[in-house]
Chains A and B, each alone.
Chain A
Amino acid sequence: MSSNAIEMNFADWFELTNLYADYARAVDSGDWDLWPEFFTEDCLYRLVPRENHERGFPLATLSFDSKGMLKDRVYGIRETLFHDPYYQRHVTGAPVVRKVEAVAGNVRWHCEANYAVFRTKLSEVSTVFNVGRYLDVVERTPAGLKFAERICVYDSEMIPNSIIYPI
C-alpha cells in the first residue's frame, strides 16, 4: 500500500463494505422503494457516460440532485415508463477509500468501486448491460451510512436500447 494510505478501523470498513453489498442487493431486488433510502436528502446521483465525464461535458444520462428526484424516478419506473421487464444483477468490487474528511462532526469517505450490471430479459440469455465505476461520497448520519454522492461513470459505449432501473 502507498504511504498515504487511509487509516480505517475494522468496524468502519465492515460497515462501509456492507453498505456497498446492501445497495447491490436492494437495486437488484425489484423493490424500488429501497433505493432512495440509501441517499441523504440533498444527495447527488448521476449516471454519466465516461466520454462526458472525461471530456468535462456536464450532461448525464440521468442526473438527480435530491432524494425527492430519486423518489420521482421510482414513481416513473413503477407507473409511467413502459418497458420490457428485466432482472438486473449488480456485481460490485470492493471499495477503495480515497479520502476521509469530517464535515460538521460527521465523517465522510470518498470512495470508488468498479461495478458490472447484467441484464436478463424474460426468455432471454443474460447479457452484460452496463459496466463502470462508482465515484461516491459516503456520509455517516444518525440513520447510518448514506450516499451523499453516487456518480456512476459507465464505460459502456452503447446503452442496449434503454436503462430503466437504478444502476
Chain B
Amino acid sequence: MTTPSTVFPTGVSWETAGTSRIPFKVYTDEEVHKQELERFFYKGHWSYVGLEAEIPEPGDFKRTVVGERSVIMVRDAEGGISVVENVCAHRGMRFCRERHGNRKEFVCPYHQWNYTLKGDLQGVPFRRGVKQDGKVNGGMPADFKVEDHGLTQLKVATRGGVVFASFDHEVEPLEDYIGPTILQYFDRLFNGRKLRILGYNRQRIPGNWKLMQENIKDPYHPGLLHTWFVTFGLWRADNKSELKMDAHGRHAAMISTRGQGGKAAQVTQVPSFKESMQLNDPRFLDIVPEPWWNGPTAVMTTLFPSVILQQQVNSVSTRHIQPDGHGSFDFVWTHFAFEDDDDEMLQRRLRQANLFGPAGFVSADDGEVIEFSQEGFEQKPFHRALAELGGRAVDLHTDHMVTETLIRGMYGYWRRVMEEGGGPRGSTPQAGGAEVSQ
C-alpha cells in the first residue's frame, strides 16, 4: 500500500464493494461506535439480558445492560419478566446499585420515587405538598400524572429460558429475528429443560466489541492460536465442520464434530500437535456425549450483536458482550447446567469450564489477541484488515472451516445497516454490501 495522505482519515472508507477488506476505522471511531449503539443495540435488534434461572422467584432481579444502557431484569409478582431501564424518571439517577437481589418495588434513594417491578411510577413524596400553618406548601403541579413518568420499559421475549430485551417495541418477533437456520441450534441447547446457574466470570477486554463476534465467527484461528486444543487432540483437521448463518448474515453457528479415526499425524497439519503428549490429569477431557447433541461435539452460536452461546463438549455457557466505548467491552460468562444432570455430569461441566473463561486453557488467548488487534488498529487507522480466506463472497453455508465467510457475512449486514441510513429492517443479503452465493 502506498503512503496514505493522512494517518487519521475521517469517515469509514471500504476498499471494495464487498466486505473482505475491513477498514480499521470501524473499530476505532467513536462516532461509528455511537451509531452502532443506536442501530444495533437500541433499535431493531434483540439483546441478551440473562437467563430465567437467574431470577426464579417473584421480586428477583438482576442488573445488566443493553448496549451501554443499564437495565434491570426482574420477575414480577405474577411470574412474568420485565426489563426496565435503570434511570430514575425524576433526576436521572441510576438508582439500582446491587447487581442482584429481591425487591417488592424499586425505590430511588435520592427522593424516594418508587416504581412497581414493571416500572410504573406509583408514588412521589410531597406530591400534594406539605401542610403547614393551614396552607399547603409546594407539591407537584396539579396536572402531574404518575402515568407519564415511569421507568423506560423494554420489550421482552423469552425462549427456552433465555431472556432478550429491546428498547424498540416495533422489533420483529424474536424467532424471526434469530431466523430458522440459527433457531434450530438455539433450540438444541435451550430445549426447554430447566437450567441451573453454575456461576459467572467477568473480564474486561480492551478491544472493540465486534472483535468478539468475529472471534466466534472465525474458524481459521482455533487450530492455530489454541495450541492446547491441538496438543491434546480436541481440534483436528479431520473434524467434520459446518458453518451456517441467518439470511441477513448477522447470526452464525460454527458446528463441528470431533474426528475419531485415522492416525493423528495424517489428520492434523498443525505443527503444535504432539501425539505423545498426555495430560497429567486426563479428567480435563473426560468428555461424555449427551443425547441432545445429536452429533456435533461443539456448536458456537453468535447472536448479533450481544451474545455468544457456547457448547464445547460438556461445557455450556452464555457469553454476554457489553460494549464500553469503541475500544473496550466487558465479557460476562454465565455457565450453567441442566436440571436433570447427575452430580457426575455437573462436576464434568465444572471441570471442563477450566478450558474457558478469562483464564481458560483455550479462551484466555482470545482476549489477548483481541487486545493486540485493537492496538494495531489504533496506530494505523487508515489501514484495513483482510478476511479473504475462502474467497471474497459470502457463502451462507459451508461444509468446512477454511473460510472467513461468517465475518464477511456479518460486515455485509453491518454495511447495509450503517450505510443505508435507515434502520435494520428490510435488510437482505442482496441489498448491497457483500455479494452472496448459496
| A contact set with B: CB distance below 8 Å | 47, 49, 51-52, 55, 57-64, 66-69, 71-72, 76, 79-84, 157-164
In the complex, A47 Cα to B206 Cα: how many Å? 22
Expressed in whole angstroms, the minimum distance between the Cβ of B209 and any Cβ of chain A is 14
Cβ–Cβ < 8 Å partners of A71 in chain B = 280
Check B202 against A49 for contact (C-beta < 8 Å): yes
User: Given contacts A158-B204, A161-B368, A162-B203, is CB(A61)–CB(B357) below 8 Å?
Assistant: yes
23 residue pairs of the A-B complex, CB under 8 angstroms, read: A49-B200, A51-B99, A52-B200, A57-B197, A57-B199, A58-B198, A59-B201, A60-B199, A60-B350, A61-B358, A63-B351, A69-B284, A71-B280, A80-B231, A81-B361, A81-B365, A82-B368, A158-B330, A159-B202, A160-B203, A161-B205, A162-B358, A164-B364
Expressed in whole angstroms, the minimum distance between the Cβ of B351 and any Cβ of chain A is 7
Check A163 against B365 for contact (C-beta < 8 Å): no
Expressed in whole angstroms, the minimum distance between the Cβ of B260 and any Cβ of chain A is 23
Cβ–Cβ < 8 Å partners of B335 in chain A = 59
Cβ–Cβ < 8 Å partners of B202 in chain A = 49, 157-159
Cβ–Cβ < 8 Å partners of B228 in chain A = 76, 80-81
User: Given contacts A81-B228, A84-B372, is CB(A57)–CB(B198) below 8 Å?
Assistant: yes
User: Given contacts A62-B359, A68-B281, A82-B225, is CB(A52)–CB(B199) below 8 Å?
Assistant: yes
Cβ–Cβ < 8 Å partners of B353 in chain A = 59-60, 63
In the complex, A51 Cα to B279 Cα: how many Å? 31
Cβ–Cβ < 8 Å partners of A63 in chain B = 350-351, 353-354
Cβ–Cβ < 8 Å partners of A68 in chain B = 279-281
Interface string of B396-408 (1 = CB under 8 A from A): 0000000000000
User: Given contacts A69-B284, A72-B284, A80-B227, is CB(A51)–CB(B200) below 8 Å?
Assistant: yes
Residue in B225, B280, B361, B367 with the greatest tally of chain A CB atoms within 10 Å:
B280
Check B200 against A57 for contact (C-beta < 8 Å): yes
Check B350 against A162 for contact (C-beta < 8 Å): no
Q: Is B37 an interface residue (CB 8 A)?
A: no
User: Given contacts A58-B350, A80-B227, A158-B330, is CB(A164)–CB(B359) below 8 Å?
Assistant: yes
Instruction: With CB as the reference atom, state the residue of chain B lying closest to A52.
Output: B199
Q: Which of B199, B280, B330, B354 meets A49, CB within 8 Å?
A: B199
Check A64 against B354 for contact (C-beta < 8 Å): yes
Cβ–Cβ < 8 Å partners of B162 in chain A = none
| 16 more CB-based (< 8 A) A-B contacts, given A67-B280, A162-B368 | A49-B202, A57-B198, A59-B335, A60-B350, A60-B353, A61-B359, A63-B351, A63-B353, A68-B280, A68-B281, A76-B228, A80-B272, A159-B358, A162-B367, A163-B359, A164-B364
Which residues of chain B in 340-380 are interfacial with respect to chain A, using CB atoms and an 8 Å cutoff? 346, 350-351, 353-354, 357-359, 361, 364-365, 367-369, 371-372
Expressed in whole angstroms, the minimum distance between the Cβ of A127 and any Cβ of chain B is 12
Q: Which of B198, B284, B371 meets A161, CB within 8 Å?
A: B371
Expressed in whole angstroms, the minimum distance between the Cβ of B169 and any Cβ of chain A is 32
Instruction: With CB as the reference atom, state the residue of chain B lying closest to A76.
Output: B361
Expressed in whole angstroms, the minimum distance between the Cβ of B233 and any Cβ of chain A is 13
Check B231 against A79 for contact (C-beta < 8 Å): yes
Expressed in whole angstroms, the minimum distance between the Cβ of B197 and any Cβ of chain A is 6
Q: Is the interface of B mostly helix, strand, loop or mixed?
A: mixed
Instruction: With CB as the reference atom, state the residue of chain B lying closest to A84.
Output: B368
Check B279 against A72 for contact (C-beta < 8 Å): yes
Instruction: With CB as the reference atom, state the residue of chain B lying closest to A67.
Output: B280
Instruction: With CB as the reference atom, state the residue of chain A lying closest to B203.
Output: A159
In the complex, A57 Cα to B197 Cα: how many Å? 7
Expressed in whole angstroms, the minimum distance between the Cβ of A40 and any Cβ of chain B is 14
Which residues of chain B in 182-237 are interfacial with respect to chain A, using CB atoms and an 8 Å cutoff? 197-206, 225-228, 231
In the complex, A77 Cα to B262 Cα: how many Å? 29
Expressed in whole angstroms, the minimum distance between the Cβ of B236 and any Cβ of chain A is 16
Expressed in whole angstroms, the minimum distance between the Cβ of A62 and any Cβ of chain B is 5
Check B200 against A161 for contact (C-beta < 8 Å): no
User: Given contacts A71-B280, A159-B204, A160-B204, is CB(A83)–CB(B350) below 8 Å?
Assistant: no
Interface string of B124-167 (1 = CB under 8 A from A): 00000000000000000000000000000000000000000000
Check A83 against B231 for contact (C-beta < 8 Å): no
In the complex, A100 Cα to B170 Cα: how many Å? 64
Expressed in whole angstroms, the minimum distance between the Cβ of B30 and any Cβ of chain A is 21
Q: Which of B200, B205, B284, B365 meets A82, CB within 8 Å?
A: B365
Cβ–Cβ < 8 Å partners of A47 in chain B = 359
User: Given contacts A68-B280, A161-B371, is CB(A61)–CB(B201) below 8 Å?
Assistant: yes
Check A161 against B330 for contact (C-beta < 8 Å): no
In the complex, A48 Cα to B80 Cα: how many Å? 32
Instruction: With CB as the reference atom, state the residue of chain A lying closest to B370.
Output: A161
Cβ–Cβ < 8 Å partners of B198 in chain A = 57-59
Expressed in whole angstroms, the minimum distance between the Cβ of B324 and any Cβ of chain A is 10
Check B231 against A81 for contact (C-beta < 8 Å): no
Cβ–Cβ < 8 Å partners of A164 in chain B = 359, 364
Check B204 against A161 for contact (C-beta < 8 Å): yes
Which residues of chain B in 74-115 are interfacial with respect to chain A, using CB atoms and an 8 Å cutoff? 99-100
In the complex, A113 Cα to B296 Cα: how many Å? 45
In the complex, A64 Cα to B367 Cα: how many Å? 22
Residue in A59, A68, A158, A163 with the greatest tally of chain B CB atoms within 10 Å:
A59
Cβ–Cβ < 8 Å partners of A79 in chain B = 227, 231
Check B361 against A80 for contact (C-beta < 8 Å): yes
Check B197 against A163 for contact (C-beta < 8 Å): no
Cβ–Cβ < 8 Å partners of B368 in chain A = 82-84, 161-162
